Amino acid sequence: MLRDELDSCDDDVRELVLEDFLPYRLNILAEIVSHSLAGVYSRQYGIGIPEWRVIANLGSIGQLSAKQIGDRAHMHKTKVSRAAAALEESGLILRSTDSSDKRSAILSLTEKGRDVYSRIVPVALEFASDLESVLDPADVKALDRILSKLKRKSQEMAGRMTREIE
């Protein structure tokens, strides 16, 4: 459907104003927020954004495979693998063989990893609270609803695009 629409466009194409383009605005906001928060844990613990996403998922869920982390965090498997290798080398995570699938590894936080997670979480929650402080409670609820709707619609569109490509 989208491909047909693109093919049928004539020369009278509307101008794209990036500053008003929702996907661009969401991406810029996500990058700014992610890098701002990264400044907190990067300086103190020497971990980057991909490593934090692995730690955050393991800390909040428990044991997960790299694929599960990638699916949850929407991270490419190579990025998850590199982050996991760095965290394992730092002694923050443990990699063990999945008893149900010998080809897959299960990742979990070590005691040191749980300590780092427990120290970052309050700072991350304070960061989120500070970010939300510019919104009144009704705005926070509306933003949550809007983000949920946009996520569902994006997933639906991604699924449709994948089916069209196949």
- Quick: pLDDT tens for 135-146: 999 999 999 999
Under the banding of pLDDT at 50, 70 and 90, the label for residue 68 is very high
| Separation of alpha carbons 49 and 83, rounded Å | 9
Segment 96-108 mean pLDDT = 82
Q: How confident is the model at residue 157 (pLDDT cuts 50, 70, 90)?
A: very high
Q: Chain-wide mean pLDDT for the chain?
A: 90
Question: From the CB of residue 112, how many other CB atoms can be counted at a distance below 10 Å?
Answer: 13
- Under 8 Å between Cβ of 115 and 45: no
What's the pTM? 0.82
3-class DSSP state of 43: helix
Per-residue model confidence as pLDDT tens digits over 35-44: 999 998 999 9
Q: What pLDDT shows up at residue 9?
A: 56
